[in-house]
Amino acid sequence: MSAPIGLAEAIEEVQMIVSADGARLDVVEDDTADIVHLRLDLVDASCADCVLPPERLLDVIENSLRRKTGNDALVVRIDDPRA
């Protein structure tokens, strides 16, 4: 098992989840060790409906960031224009 990576690197890695459809995740705030606030940008998305639904996207990203950083208490908030 590999060592946990930093939050910034973990966020870059989860960008791939939405970038395939042209969407982007922007960091709004990550001032604390346990809360990350992201914004989903669909302006350049080729298919906004192809991006995971809001609840599923949050679940996937939160679980991925927790696993990659080793922080099981990490809470992720995503501003999703579709929600």
Report the pLDDT value the prediction gives residue 39, as an integer from 0 to 100.
Answer: 96
Structural domain count, the chain: 1
Return the pLDDT at 32. Answer: 67
| Domain enclosing residue 61, as ranges | 7-79
**Is 2 part of a structural domain of the chain?**
no
pLDDT digits (tens, 9 = 90+) for 23-63: 999 999 876 668 899 999 999 888 888 888 999 999 999 99
| Rounded-to-integer distance, Cα 25 and Cα 18, Å | 7
- Strand order from edge to edge, sheet including 35-41: 24-29, 35-41, 75-79
| CATH number of 35's domain | 3.30.300.130
Q: Is 15 a domain residue?
A: yes
Q: What pLDDT, on a 0 to 100 scale, did the predictor assign at position 1?
A: 44
- Of residues 75 and 21, more confidence is placed in 75
Burial zone of 31 (CB within 10 Å; 0-12 exposed, 13-18 middle, 19+ buried): exposed
Give me the chain's average pLDDT, please: 87
The answer to whether residue 19 sits within a structural domain is yes
Q: Is residue 18 part of a domain?
A: yes
